[in-house]
A and B are shown apart, each in its own frame.
Chain A
């Protein structure tokens, strides 16, 4: 394996920026020429204008802030027990055997369906929304972490033991760092899912947040605002994943850049 840190040359990066811009330009042109119905596809420049209005009066920032806080809370709620349970399942066969059937039937349930239950138990407030959004994330993080422990090279483990790593040392210096690349893959997937479910629950039941903004704008036929909310969600998701990748590069410097997750 050759480890050149920056494999992406300029052309590739430019393509990544140019292609969505081209799409917007085409959209703009098609709307201006009357090829797209403005009720459904208002011109991007018009949407941008509405987005700026929403940003300037502070409402876009408020909604985005609320959504971000919810995603962060849900992600944290999924991450900590997810990594702990995943490590335990990876290390101990007994834990794995004990949890596997339960997880196997719980994991496939679309997490939004937990909202009624959690609302019933936790009250129809933030807590229920956050707990619901954490569910799928938790399973993803737990499963990838478990895989991270299980896939460790047996000779590496043998060598680590041979050079004196046992018990807690083996865990902290070998198993945990060995699982780190997988944990980050799980985090990447889990973060995406946390966002998806937060938005979905906001659409279904909240008055605040980008999902609520999108849904309410649609209900009032404020199509431009709906697109503005959609764009803000996309940017928020991209931004969060970008920050996660930055963390990965800092915390997993021993891996050359790979397509994350």
Chain B
């Protein structure tokens, strides 16, 4: 386990987010308090629409919280606090793989030679070195998401934010990518906040799992994952894995049912 160093890397205190829509305001997140340790891999799980992605966007500064505080402890001033991997990869179609990966450093004014050398190292890490000059349309879904990860890593963030990065991929590619994450994360030891709707994926990857309630999202329960590291896909066969899946599902099921009941209850959203 990476050293925590005492102070948490990410500190969310009483964070609430309300969106104003047609029929008044909707509370998306309700007083979320959560600490993420340096080097920790935290997974956020919850029913659809519970505000997992919103919480991630609050951490990224893309959504402003209505109340509460977000503190990210910066160890390397000058580099960005967060970098996000988006669900639909969100690459710039007119840029090659390499130019997409250097996009963050380029906008920060990192010298060209330096940012390109760094980007090439990261492309090797994610297994895309041979595709540096390809355009996104020439890549498969899994490869595009590798570029998305490389782009986030190239920006040298304090915290890596991942918004269901594998949700759009087919089952086989997803499994391969999960293994890749485990490898990359083991190599870099970054602090990661990872949103997923898959309990299995959360247990496979995470050190800890935060389960959110249906809207408005609150932290329902935190589950430590006691499986050892380095971890591979074989842990899925262990009895501990299965037991944890059942335990989390029992809690999540309740929330999913409630979310469904809310949706069919007729209140327009």
Interface pair A155/B104, CB less than 8 Å apart? no
Which residue of B80, B90, B155 is within 8 Å of A156 (Cβ)?
B90
Stretch at the interface among B131-139, B183-191, B212-220, B227-235: B131-139
Given contacts A178-B94, A254-B94, A256-B137, contact A163 B155 (CB under 8 A): yes
Cβ-closest chain B residue relative to A155: B90
- By a CB distance below 8 angstroms, the chain A residues around B172 are none
Interface pair B107/A254, CB less than 8 Å apart? no
Total number of A residues with any Cβ neighbor in B under 8 Å: 24
Number of A-B contacts (CB under 8 A): 62
Interface pair A254/B136, CB less than 8 Å apart? yes
Interface pair A165/B93, CB less than 8 Å apart? no
A160 interface hit (Cβ, 8 Å): yes
- By a CB distance below 8 angstroms, the chain A residues around B80 are 164
- Taken together as a complex, chains A and B put the C-alpha atoms of A253 and B88 apart, in Å, by 22
Cβ-closest chain A residue relative to B137: A3
Which residue of A3, A164, A178, A180 is within 8 Å of B107 (Cβ)?
A164
Given contacts A165-B107, A174-B92, contact A254 B137 (CB under 8 A): yes
Interface pair B62/A164, CB less than 8 Å apart? no
A: residues with CB less than 8 A from B are 1, 3, 153, 155-156, 158-165, 169, 173-174, 177-178, 180, 252-256
Sample of 16 further A-B pairs with CB below 8 A, known A165-B103, A254-B135, A255-B93: A1-B137, A3-B135, A3-B137, A156-B92, A158-B86, A158-B90, A159-B90, A159-B92, A161-B62, A162-B62, A162-B83, A163-B83, A163-B103, A164-B80, A180-B94, A254-B93
**Could you jot down 12 A-B contacts, CB within 8 Å?**
A3-B135, A3-B137, A3-B138, A155-B87, A155-B88, A156-B91, A163-B107, A164-B107, A174-B92, A177-B92, A252-B94, A256-B137
B: residues with CB less than 8 A from A are 60, 62, 80, 83-84, 86-88, 90-95, 103-104, 107-108, 135-138, 151, 155
